[in-house]
């Protein structure tokens, strides 16, 4: 099960866990995989705190995931500070969109955030706001891997990461995107099928993985989209991937920073309950379908705005939903893949890593017997 990318990172298993929870990232890294902390949603100062905590609690190494879209509103506004860029973009958000979002939250009884609890509407989501996050990452030697969630990273980002001795890669949902990553000299490609949670394309994992592996040649491919057990890991490696990139799987572990009401929503969901929607981030993103996603799809309601403007509309709902999950259960942001239908019990993160390895070995043994 040990692949080339394991050797380069010094990890035991090619199991990568994307998560917004530092406890999960640390637990997976300490169990032999690689925890990857999602940076979007953290200011640079907050990310510094998270990474310092990981440095103190991870025995080996970990990764960090940035969000620098290849196309977004405000692209090219060079020279602006993050605060200036946010102010410029805020002027592009129609008041009607803000009013519609507030109406949805109010109708469902989701309370306002406490007075004085200010939060930026633009955390990550642009090259300008990601730059301070990257600077924080480069101050932490244990952060050995950087991934970009949306498109090929800018050349200066690639150079900074590689010059520091780290690996940099990016997610893709098509062969075209994978070839762009290869041409940019990235160290690995995360190939995510449409089943995957969060931002995804339209092609299924089983079809996409081997196409991307063949297209990028020697560039290591990490398979993503619908992986929750060792049999699926074995299938990914059999198709030429060098590892499994997992995300939804870590929403239902014991260490996850997921409120109980939201956790129950995930545990009760089936694979038929997800939808690709632009209603939260402005780009197609797979999540649980609910009254928020349905409302933005109706013909008589506003169309979702491009990234990052739609998230500037929706971020208040994200914050209020996290603080008041019981009230927001029908309008909460629940990014998750179709694999949610397999997530029906709570496990500890280390137990999940061990289970994936055991199931992988069993699957390989079964194939070995079939092959005589």
pLDDT digits (tens, 9 = 90+) for 298-352: 999 999 999 999 999 999 999 999 999 999 999 999 999 999 999 999 999 999 9
Backbone phi, psi, residue 205, to 5°: -60, -45
Angle (nearest 5°) at CA 203 between 197 and 208 = 100
Is residue 166 a part of any domain in this protein? yes
What tokens does 316 get?
A: 């208040």
Is residue 204 a part of any domain in this protein? yes
Is residue 59 a part of any domain in this protein? yes
What's the CATH code of the domain at 49?
3.20.20.70
Residues 6+ apart with CB under 8 A from 195: 204, 205, 225, 226, 286, 337, 338, 339
Using CA atoms, how far apart are residues 5 and 259, in angstroms rounded to an integer? 34
Residues in the chain: 372
pLDDT tier at 118, thresholds 50, 70, 90: low
> Listing from the earlier edge strand, what are the strands of the sheet with 285-288?
198-199, 285-288, 274-277
Collapse the DSSP code of 205 into the 3-class scheme (helix H, G, I; strand E, B; otherwise coil) and give the result: helix
Q: What is the pTM of this model?
A: 0.95
Scanning 184-324, the segments in alpha helix (DSSP H) are 205-216, 230-238, 260-268, 291-297, 309-323
Domain that holds residue 18: 4-77+123-289+335-370
Is residue 132 a part of any domain in this protein? yes
> Is the pLDDT assigned to residue 294 strictly greater than 80?
yes
Is residue 10 a part of any domain in this protein? yes
Name the CA radius of gyration of the chain, rounded: 20
What tokens does 265 get?
A: 């929503």
Percentage, residues of the chain above pLDDT 90:
88
> Is the pLDDT assigned to residue 116 strictly greater than 90?
no
> Is the pLDDT assigned to residue 71 strictly greater than 70?
yes
Is residue 105 a part of any domain in this protein? no
The pLDDT, as a whole number, for residue 78 is 66
For the stretch 174-227, pLDDT in tens is 999 999 999 999 999 999 999 999 999 999 999 999 999 999 999 999 999 999
Angle (nearest 5°) at CA 306 between 250 and 329 = 45
**CA 123 to each of CA 66, 127, 139, 342, 351: distance values in angstroms, whole numbers, following the listed order:** 11, 11, 19, 31, 33
Using CA atoms, how far apart are residues 97 and 101, in angstroms rounded to an integer? 6
Q: What's the whole-number mean pLDDT along residues 273-297?
A: 97
What tokens does 307 get?
A: 């990234």
Side-chain-side CA neighbours of 364 within 13 Å: the count stands at: 13
The pLDDT, as a whole number, for residue 248 is 98
Is residue 260 a part of any domain in this protein? yes
Is residue 54 a part of any domain in this protein? yes
Q: What's the whole-number mean pLDDT along residues 249-261?
A: 95
Q: What's the whole-number mean pLDDT along residues 109-131?
A: 84
The sign of the CA dihedral 363, 364, 369, 372 is positive
Structural domain count of the chain: 1
């Amino acid at each position: 099960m040990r692949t080339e990318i394991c050797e380069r990172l010094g990890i035991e298993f090619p199991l990568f866990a994307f998560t917004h929870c530092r406890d999960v990232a640390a637990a997976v890294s300490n169990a032999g995989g690689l925890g990857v902390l999602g940076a979007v949603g953290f200011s640079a100062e907050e990310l510094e705190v998270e990474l310092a905590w990981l440095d103190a609690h991870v025995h080996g190494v970990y990764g960090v995931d940035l969000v620098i879209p290849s196309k977004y509103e405000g692209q090219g506004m060079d020279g602006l500070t993050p605060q200036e860029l946010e102010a410029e973009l805020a002027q592009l958000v129609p008041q009607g969109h803000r009013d519609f979002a507030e109406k949805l939250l109010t109708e469902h009884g989701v309370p306002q955030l406490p007075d004085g609890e200010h939060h930026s509407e633009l955390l990550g989501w642009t090259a300008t706001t990601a730059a301070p996050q990257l600077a924080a990452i480069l101050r932490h030697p244990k952060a050995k891997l950087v991934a970009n969630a949306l498109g090929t990273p800018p050349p200066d980002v690639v150079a900074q990461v590689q010059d520091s001795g780290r690996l940099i890669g990016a997610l893709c949902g098509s062969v075209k995107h994978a070839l762009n990553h290869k041409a940019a000299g990235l160290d690995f490609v995360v190939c995510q099928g449409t089943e995957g949670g969060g931002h995804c394309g339209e092609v299924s994992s089983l079809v996409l993985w081997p196409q991307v592996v063949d297209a990028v040649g020697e560039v290591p491919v990490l398979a993503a989209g619908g992986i929750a057990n060792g049999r699926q890991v074995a299938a990914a490696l059999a198709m030429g991937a060098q590892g499994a990139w997992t995300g939804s799987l870590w929403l239902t572990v014991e260490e996850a920073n997921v409120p109980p009401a939201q956790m129950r929503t995930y545990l009760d969901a089936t694979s038929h309950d997800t939808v690709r929607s632009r209603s939260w981030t402005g780009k197609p993103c797979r999540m649980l379908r609910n009254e928020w996603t349905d409302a933005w799809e109706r013909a008589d309601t506003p169309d979702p705005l491009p990234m990052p403007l739609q998230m500037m509309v929706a971020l208040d709902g994200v914050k209020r939903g996290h603080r008041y999950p019981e009230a927001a259960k029908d309008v909460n942001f629940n990014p998750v893949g179709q694999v949610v239908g397999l997530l029906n019990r709570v496990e500890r993160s280390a137990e999940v890593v061990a289970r994936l390895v055991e199931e992988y070995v069993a699957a390989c043994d079964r194939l070995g017997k079939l092959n005589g």
